[in-house]
């Protein structure tokens, strides 16, 4: 997906791409797009801007189940970062 986006932006001569994602995924999302841009001729000029998806009031009225799911999300994101890195999708 990131490589396809980079190809489109190069042909249309874009200079900036906004990546809109949860703050939780910004580290991985930015690096995937940066890595994809390196593999697309003419994409080295692209600038990537992170935009944050608004969240509800975090931490307000959380149950034990909410906390467990948040911990699961942290470990899943760490596993995803390692998986992407092993496949060469992160730079």
Indicate the domain borders of the chain: 2-86
Residue ranges of the chain whose pLDDT lies below 70: 1-3, 5-11, 54-61
Task: Kindly list the distances between the CA atom of residue 72 and the CA atoms of 48, 50, 57, 77, 78, in Å, as whole numbers in the listed order.
Answer: 28, 24, 20, 9, 10
Phi and psi at 13, nearest 5°, equal: 60, 40
pTM for the whole thing?
0.67
Q: Which distant-in-sequence residues (6+ apart) come within 8 Å of 32 by Cβ?
A: 2, 84, 89, 90
Helices 64-86 and 26-39, packing angle to 10 deg: 20
């Amino acid at each position: 997906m990131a490589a396809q986006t980079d190809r489109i932006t190069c042909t249309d001569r874009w200079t900036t791409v906004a990546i809109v994602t949860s703050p939780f995924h910004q580290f991985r999302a930015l690096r995937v797009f940066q890595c994809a841009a390196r593999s697309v001729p003419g994409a080295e000029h692209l600038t990537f801007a992170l935009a944050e998806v608004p969240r509800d009031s975090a931490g307000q009225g959380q149950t034990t189940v909410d906390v467990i799911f948040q911990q699961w999300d942290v470990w899943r994101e760490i596993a995803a970062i390692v998986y992407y890195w092993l496949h060469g999708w992160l730079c």
